[in-house]
Amino acid sequence: MSPLKEINAIFIESNKLINFLYSSMYTPPFTISSRAIHLIADISALVERYAIRMEQEDALLLRKINRIKTIQGSLAIEGNTLSESQTTDILDGKHIVAPIREIQEVRNAIKTYNSYHTA
């Protein structure tokens, strides 16, 4: 379990505990103010937002990796000898030393892939 999910689970459990304490006959030796409850809820919401943002960044990275592997693999079947790192460099707009025809094949595949996946 990721640290963010662990923290979120702790906050969920603390909210359950707070609800239990308020609903049971048990009287703790301290008072839990509404301000503390609101702060716990705010922290929990922020942790969840952060976790979602991290998952989105991971998804974007995975999408880019899959796009590179798909393009490079498809072109390799057709005889293109460029590596994944060279394909990545072309995708990132960098210049590489390779046959012009193979570079153009990668550029064309990128355009085709982008037009297919953004439509």
Q: Does this model's pTM top 0.75?
A: no
pLDDT at 118: 65
Domain ranges of the chain: 3-118
Q: Using an 8 Å Cβ cutoff, are 87 and 99 in contact?
A: no
Residue 119 has pLDDT above 60, yes or no: no
**Burial letters for 50-78: b for 16+ Cβ neighbours within 10 Å, e otherwise?**
ebeeeeeeeeeeeeeeebbeebbeebeee
pLDDT for 89 equals 95
Band the pLDDT of 90: cuts 50, 70, 90: very high
**DSSP 8-state class, residue 99:** -
pLDDT of residue 28: 67
Quick one: pLDDT band at residue 100, thresholds 50, 70, 90? very high
Rounded to whole angstroms, the Cα distance separating 113 from 85 reads 18
Report the mean per-residue pLDDT for the chain. 86
Average pLDDT over residues 6-35: 77
Residue type, position 119, single letter:
A
Model confidence at 37: pLDDT above 70: yes
* pLDDT in the model for residue 95: 94
Virtual CA dihedral for 21, 24, 28, 31, nearest 10 degrees?
A: 60
